[in-house]
Chains A and B, each alone.
Chain A
Amino acid sequence: MSKEVTIDTSGIYYKELNEQINEIIKDNPDLERITLNNVLGQRFIGNGISKNNLTIVINGIPGGDLAMFMKGPRVEVYGNADHAPGNTLDEGKVIIHGSSGDATGHSMRGGSVYVQGSVGYRSGIHMKEYKGKTPVLVIGETAGDFLGEYMAGGIIINLNIQSEDTEFVKNSMLGTGIHGGVIYIRGKVNESQLGVAADIKEFKKEDLEKITYYIEDYCNEFNYSDEIKNKLLNSNYTKIAPISSRPFKKLYTPDIR
C-alpha cells in the first residue's frame, strides 16, 4: 500500500501505461500521488479515472484527450499538452505548465482546466453546466479562433498575460453558437470578432467578483507574483455572453404534413 508511485514511462505504449495506472489505483486505495516521468505522447492519461485526493504528475508531453471523462483527481502537466485535454471532464483539476492543443476543455461539464500558455482552436467548445457543476477554463496567453463555440455553460477566462488590456485581441469567431455560460477576455474585442449568437455585455462588479477566485487560484497554481495577480485583477475585461439561450429558435418553421 503506497501513497506515492513513480513510473518511468519511456517506451511504454499508451494502452499498457493506462492499464498500469488503473491497476496501481486499484491496488493502492490510499494512493495520493502518481508521478509519470518521460511522458512522450501517450494518450488518454487519466481517462475515466474516478477518485478524489489523487494527484497525477506528468513530466513530459502527454498525448490527446488527457483526463477525458475524469472525475476527481488533480492532473499537473510539466510540459505542453496535445489536443483536447479535459475533454468531457466531470470533476477535478488539470494544470498545464505549458500550452495545449485544439479543443482544450471540449464538452467539460465540471472541474477546471488551467493552461499557463496558449490554447488551440475551438477551445472550450460545448462546455456546459448543470446546477452546481460549473466548468472553468483559464487560459494564460492566447486562444485560437472559435473560443467557446457552442458553449452552453461554464466560464472561460482568457488572460492574455503578455499583452496590455487596452489592446484588441486577435481571436475571431468568438463564442460561435454560444447559448449558455460566459467568456471573459482580458483586452478589447471588436464586434466583428464575435461569432453568431454571441454578444458583448457590460463587465460589471459581479463579473469581477465571479472571476476573482479563479484568477487568484490560477496565480497561486503557477506561482505568479502579487504584482502580476493585482495587474490581472485590475484589468479591463470584455464579457461575451449569448444573445439568448435559444439562439436558433427562429430558424425553423413547423410543417404539419
Chain B
Amino acid sequence: MIPSTVPPKYKITIDHDKCILCGRCAKECAWDAIRKSKDKIITYDNRCGSCFRCASMCPRDAITIIENPSQGRKHPVWTPEARQDVLNQANSGCILLSGMGNAKDYPIYYDNIVLDACQVTNPSIDPLREPMELRTYIGSKPEKLEFEYIEEEIDGKKVKKSKLKTKIAPNLKLDTPIMIGHMSYGAISLNSHKAMAKAVKRCGTFMGTGEGGLHRDLYEYSDNIITQVASGRFGVNSEYLSKGAAIEIKIGQGAKPGIGGHLPGEKVSAEVSMTRMIPEGSDAISPAPHHDIYSIEDLAQLVRSLKEATRWKLPVFVKISAVHNVAAIANGIATSDADAVVIDGFKGGTGAAPKVFRDNVGIPIEVAISAVDDRLREQGNRNKVSIIASGGIRNSADVFKSIALGADAVYIGTAAMIAMGCTVCGRCYGGKCCWGIATQRADLVERLEIEEAADRVSNLIGAWTHEIKELLGAAGINSIESLRGNRDRLRGIGLNEVELKALGLKQAGL
C-alpha cells in the first residue's frame, strides 16, 4: 500500500476528566473533526485545521489543539508539509488550493524599518492636546490651482472676490487613512459584509465590495462602499455602479498575481447568485485578463467607460498586484484618467488561490510602494493618482511605514477578519468557516453576530488611528499629508545596501 497522508498536522486532545460530554464541540466543528458518541468524544485529527472554534466554545476548557509531535522522521527539506503536498497531488493530479495569505517565511521589511521620533531640536507634538490631521483625500489632484477674480459691490464698496477656476476631480474623503479592501460576497458571508459596512461608516472610511456585486442589504451604506469591476463583471450594472462612492477595476491580486478568480459553485447560494446575477450553483469564473484590455490604452478605455457610465462623478481606482514591473504599470495607470492605483503585495490574503501562487509569486508591498512612488514622481505623475497599499498590513506601525514610504492610504483585509474572529486557519475555500466569516452555510453564517463584529472592527480601526496620531506627534508632524513619502522619518535596520536602495531608506545611525 502506498501511503496517502503523512501524520495529521494537528492533534486534538480532550481532557476526559474535565469533559462533561455536552457535545458542543461536535456541533461547532463544521469539518467533522470531532464527533460525539454515546459516552465519548471522538476526534479525527486529520480533518482539523486548527480553527479553534471547538476549544473556544468548550464550557470546560477541556480541548487542547497542538501541533502533532508525531510527524514521522524529521527532515529539514522534506518537511511534513512538503510531503503532504506531494501526496495530495499524487492522489488527485490537481492544482493545490489554499486560502489566506502567503505562508512562507519571507523577510517582512516592515519589521526591519524603524520610525523616527523627535526630541528637543524639533519638538514632538502632544496629540491629546493638539489637533492631528488624518484626513486623506483619495483621487487625482490638480497640478496647480488657478483662480479668477471677480469684482463685486458689497454695501457700495467694490470688493475683489476670488473664485477657484481649476476643476477638481472627484475625491474620496477619508477620516483615517485605513480602508477595508475588497473581499467579495461569496468568498465571505453577508454578515461579515454587514459588520464591516457598519464599521467603516462609523469610522468615516470605506470598504470594498470585491468582485461579487453588492447585496441590496448594503445599499444603505453606499456612501462608504467602493464597488469593484473584475474581468467576470459579476453583478455589474448601472445601478450597482451608482451604489458606490468609487469604482475599482481589479486587474490583479497580491495573493495570486497573473491569474483570475474562481468562486466554486458550492459557494454560489441563492443569495450569492442573485447578487452576482448568475445561476445558482454554477462556477463564477473571472479569468486572469480582462478580455477588453490588451494594452494600457485599453485599460484607459475601461476607466473612461466607467466614468462615462457614472458621468465622471466617481473616482475610479485600478488594482494591480505587486510584481517586479509594478512601477511601469502604475505609471501607465496614472496616465489613464484613473484616480488611484491600488497595489496589493504578495502577502495579501485570499479566499482561494493555488498554493504555488500564494506562496511564490509577487513581491513584498514595502518595496512596491517605494518603487511606484519614485517612478510617479520621476515622471511628474504623482499628483494624478493616489497610491493605496495593501497586502499584509498588520498594525498601525505598518500603516505609518506604508505612508512614509509613499502610500496615501492602506487597505486592510485579514486584520479586519481577525477582528471579527478569524483564526487564520487558511481553509476559506472550503466554505465551512466555523466562525461564520468565509462561508455561505446559513447555520454557520448565523454564528457571526453583526453588531459585535462591527464594534470590534471599528474598535480596531479607531485604535490604529489613535496610534497613528501618537506616532505622528512623536515624529513632530501634525498632518498625515506631511508624512506621505517622507522616508526621512524611517531608517532601515538589518537590511543590506541593495535593499535599502530599493526601499529608498537610510541605514539606522545615519
Contact = CB atoms under 8 A, between A and B. Distances in A.
Q: Please indicate whether A and B come from the same complex rather than being unrelated chains.
A: yes
B354 interface: yes
Contact of A129 (B231, B279, B285, B354): B279
Nearest to A256: B49
B89 to A, nearest CB: 7
B37 interface: no
Contacts of B301: 43, 64-65
Contacts of A88: 233, 236-237
A145 interface: no
A64 B381 CA distance: 27
B489 interface: no
A68 interface: yes
Contact of A177 (B84, B94, B237, B287): B287
A68 B291 contact: no
Interface in A223-257: 245-257
Interface string B90-102: 0110111110000
A245 B283 contact: yes
Nearest to B293: A103
B283 A248 contact: yes
Contacts of B283: 179, 245-249
Contacts of B265: 245-246, 249
B309 A47 contact: yes
B119 interface: no
Nearest to A46: B308
Given A48-B310, A126-B233, A130-B279, A256 B95 contact: no
Given A130-B277, A152-B282, A245-B279, A69 B237 contact: yes
Interface string A47-74: 1101000000000000011001111000
Contact of A48 (B95, B233, B241): B241
Contact of A65 (B81, B231, B232, B305): B305
B131 to A, nearest CB: 40
A90 interface: yes
Contacts of A254: 96-97, 427, 429-430
Contacts of A245: 265, 279, 281-283
B9 A71 contact: no
Contacts of B98: 255, 257
Interface in A130-162: 130, 133, 149-150, 152-153
Contacts of B224: none
Contact of B94 (A109, A152, A251): A251
A180 B392 CA distance: 37
Contacts of A130: 273-274, 277-279
A180 B352 CA distance: 23
Nearest to A87: B292
A87 B305 contact: yes
Contacts of A125: 291
A253 B305 contact: no
B426 interface: yes
A256 B94 CA distance: 14
A33 interface: no
A60 B432 CA distance: 55
Interface in B1-17: 9
B495 to A, nearest CB: 30
A152 B237 contact: no
Nearest to A250: B94
Contacts of B85: 255
A122 interface: yes
Contacts of A50: 238
A128 interface: yes
Interface in A82-139: 83-84, 87-88, 90, 102-103, 106-107, 109, 122, 125-126, 128-130, 133
A180 B81 contact: no
A184 interface: no
Contacts of A166: none
A190 B506 CA distance: 65
B267 to A, nearest CB: 12
Interface in B262-285: 262, 264-265, 273-274, 277-279, 281-283, 285
A90 B238 contact: yes
- Most A CB contacts (10 A, CB to CB) among B94, B241, B354 go to B94
- Most A CB contacts (10 A, CB to CB) among B81, B262, B291 go to B291
Contacts of A90: 237-238
B311 A22 contact: yes
A18 B305 CA distance: 11
B95 A128 contact: no
A179 B419 CA distance: 37
A128 B286 CA distance: 12
Contact of B238 (A69, A133, A246): A69
A253 B94 contact: yes
B242 to A, nearest CB: 9
Contacts of A153: 278-279
Contact of B95 (A107, A246, A252, A257): A252
A251 B309 CA distance: 37
B88 interface: yes
Interface in B42-87: 47, 49, 81, 84-85
B202 interface: no
Contacts of A256: 9, 47, 49, 427
B94 A83 contact: no
A180 B273 CA distance: 14
Contact of A248 (B92, B262, B273, B429): B262
A103 B291 contact: yes
B194 interface: no
A252 B453 CA distance: 32
B355 interface: yes
A21 to B, nearest CB: 10
Given A44-B304, A252-B95, A109 B285 contact: no
Nearest to B232: A126
A64 to B, nearest CB: 6
17 contacts: A43-B301, A47-B308, A68-B309, A106-B233, A106-B291, A130-B273, A179-B285, A245-B265, A245-B281, A249-B265, A249-B283, A253-B95, A253-B96, A254-B429, A255-B97, A256-B427, A257-B9
Given A43-B305, A252-B94, 18 more contacts: A15-B312, A18-B308, A47-B305, A47-B309, A69-B236, A69-B309, A90-B237, A106-B291, A109-B233, A150-B232, A152-B278, A179-B282, A245-B283, A246-B264, A252-B95, A252-B352, A255-B97, A256-B9
List the 10 closest pairs (A to B, CB-CB), nearest first: A48-B309, A253-B94, A253-B92, A107-B233, A130-B277, A44-B308, A252-B97, A47-B308, A245-B282, A255-B96
Interface of B: 9, 47, 49, 81, 84-85, 88-89, 91-92, 94-98, 103, 231-233, 236-238, 241, 262, 264-265, 273-274, 277-279, 281-283, 285, 287, 291-292, 301, 304-305, 308-312, 352, 354-355, 426-427, 429-430
